Amino acid sequence: MGNLIGRYRAAAILMLGHGAIMELGVFLALIPLFALGVDLGAVGQYFSFNVTYFQEHLAQMMVLSGLFGIVRIVGAVGVLRNRMWGLVLAVLNCVVTIVLMVFMLPAGIIDGILACSALILLLTAYFGTKPLRGPEVSAS
């Protein structure tokens, strides 16, 4: 039982760090950019993504990163409070991150490592050692 709680806690801590540092950190970086009067249309020239649409709309991506970070943190808090909605939100968030990480290269590599690690911890804690199906019943 303690091992399962440890896995949930480890996954939640990974998600808290991922949400706070990578997601909210990117969003909060908008504040100094606004304060310094940086042309947000030109910010994309300093970062590289493999999808040009993301490159051209980097400021909007930074805002969405903040929203995604908040959702990730809320899911992690739900897991830490032992709430089923937190588990579902956390799993959904990890799956969405895994799908989107290929579009966010090279930064998506770190997203993928953190999200995949958290997802593995969450799923192994929830399902444990349950077999795919029960023991076969003979028809005698």
- Domain residues of the chain, as ranges? 2-127
Summarize pLDDT for 54-108 with one digit per residue, the tens: 777 788 888 888 999 999 999 999 999 999 999 999 999 999 999 988 888 887 8
- Structural tokens at position 116: 């995949």
Average pLDDT in the 38-59 region? 72
Residues in the chain: 140
Give CA–CA dist 112/126, Å, rounded.
Answer: 21
Contact 61, 111 (CB under 8 A): no
Encoded tokens for 115: 């999200």
Grade residue 116 by pLDDT with cuts at 50, 70 and 90. Answer: very high
What does the alpha-carbon distance between residue 93 and residue 111 come to, in Å, rounded to a whole number?
11
Let me know: does 49 contact 91? Beta carbons within 8 Å: no
Cβ distance 94 to 126 under 8 Å? no
Q: Is the pLDDT of residue 140 over 60?
A: no
Contact 88, 123 (CB under 8 A): no
